[in-house]
């Protein structure tokens, strides 16, 4: 019996036009009424996820930063779990990006910092309702770093190259491609699997009682935490190879179809 659904957001429950389908909203309402926990597990920052939880009526703690933080969805909410990048490693990644003219988003204490107010950050934030601060990184005290995100829109091959380079040179960090154009750099324990396993232990839920569902390579760790592993129809081929079941696409309510298949509603 499924007691928890651990779900990615973008491309899984949130469509490319940043809308939720009415069927999905009703499905989540039905799950909640039956006591099945729906947990948002995302690479997004916590602040960029709370409005989604509110819109969907989800009261469980939010897993953000690829699993780097678990925090209640309320003002001054309790932080259950947090794994930051060390200041030294963060400074090394910042230098690598600057030396190679790479745009990075720097997240510290759930605040987004960038050095340039350019088209990259505008494109990233406009649809996500995120505020950001513009300042030279060398003017900041680098500490409490949630994660670093390197971005190059329209050039997936270059982003893949970054991932391969960073994995080779920083094997002690968690490096993952979360969309074709995003390279995420985090603490080695800032993984979706670690966060879901933490919540399972806290709530007394067994792995075989968890349905995990996502669409991108960063959801490989998410699927590892589930007894039922589901990939969206629009998922990457690598994620599909890790799944027990491949559902329909996000545009065709694949999430709802998977839930109806494995949960009694």
d(C-alpha 23, C-alpha 165), whole Å: 42
Q: Which of 172, 159, 254, 163 is nearest to 213 (CA)?
A: 254
Read off φ and ψ for residue 183, nearest 5 degrees. Answer: -115, 115
Let me know whether 158 and 132 are in one domain.
Answer: yes
Task: Tell which of 187, 222, 245 closes a domain.
Answer: 187
The predicted structure's pLDDT at residue 18 = 87
- Provide the CATH number for the domain around residue 234: 3.40.50.1000
The predicted structure's pLDDT at residue 48 = 92
Residue 127 clears pLDDT 80, i.e. is over it: no
Average pLDDT on 208-221 reads 97
DSSP sequence for 121-153: HHHHHHTTT---EE--GGGS---SEEEEEEE-T
Let me know whether 218 and 99 are in one domain.
Answer: no
d(C-alpha 173, C-alpha 161), whole Å: 16
Let me know whether 97 and 168 are in one domain.
Answer: yes
Task: Tell which of 154, 187, 220 closes a domain.
Answer: 187
d(C-alpha 75, C-alpha 42), whole Å: 19
Let me know whether 181 and 52 are in one domain.
Answer: no
From the CA atom positions of the chain, what is the Rg in Å?
Answer: 18
Per-residue model confidence as pLDDT tens digits over 81-107? 999 999 999 999 999 999 999 999 999
Predicted TM-score (pTM) of this structure: 0.94
d(C-alpha 66, C-alpha 222), whole Å: 9
- Provide the CATH number for the domain around residue 177: 3.30.1240.10
Beta-ladder partners of 106: 113, 148
Average pLDDT on 167-183 reads 96
Residue 75 clears pLDDT 80, i.e. is over it: no
Let me know whether 159 and 41 are in one domain.
Answer: no
Q: Which domain holds residue 46?
A: 4-82+190-262
Task: Tell which of 144, 167, 187 closes a domain.
Answer: 187
Per-residue model confidence as pLDDT tens digits over 23-58? 999 999 999 999 999 999 999 999 999 999 999 999
Local confidence band at 74 (pLDDT 50, 70, 90 cut-offs): confident
Q: How many domains does the chain have?
A: 2
């Amino acid at each position: 019996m499924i007691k928890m659904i651990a779900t990615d957001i973008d491309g899984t429950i949130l469509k490319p036009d940043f809308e939720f389908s009415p069927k999905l909203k009703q499905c989540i309402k039905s799950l909640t009424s039956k006591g099945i926990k729906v947990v948002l597990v995302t690479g997004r920052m916590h602040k960029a996820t709370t409005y989604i939880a509110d819109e969907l009526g989800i009261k469980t703690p939010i897993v953000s930063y690829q699993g780097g933080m678990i925090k209640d969805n309320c003002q001054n909410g309790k932080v259950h779990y947090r794994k930051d990048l060390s200041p030294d490693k963060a400074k090394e990644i910042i230098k690598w990006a600057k030396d190679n003219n790479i745009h990075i988003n720097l997240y510290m204490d759930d605040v987004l910092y960038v050095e340039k107010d350019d088209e990259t950050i505008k494109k990233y934030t406009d649809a996500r309702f995120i505020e950001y601060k513009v300042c030279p990184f060398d003017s900041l005290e680098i500490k409490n770093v949630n994660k670093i995100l390197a971005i190059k829109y329209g050039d997936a091959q270059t982003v893949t190259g970054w991932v391969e380079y960073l994995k080779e040179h920083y094997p002690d960090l968690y490096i993952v491609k979360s969309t074709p154009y995003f390279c995420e750099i985090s603490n080695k324990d800032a993984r979706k699997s670690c966060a879901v396993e933490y919540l399972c232990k806290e709530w007394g839920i067994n792995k075989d009682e968890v349905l995990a569902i996502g669409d991108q390579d960063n959801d490989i760790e998410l699927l590892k935490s589930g007894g039922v592993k589901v990939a969206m129809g629009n998922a990457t081929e690598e994620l599909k190879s890790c799944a027990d079941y491949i559902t329909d696409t996000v545009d065709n309510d694949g999430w709802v179809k998977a839930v109806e298949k494995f949960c009694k509603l």
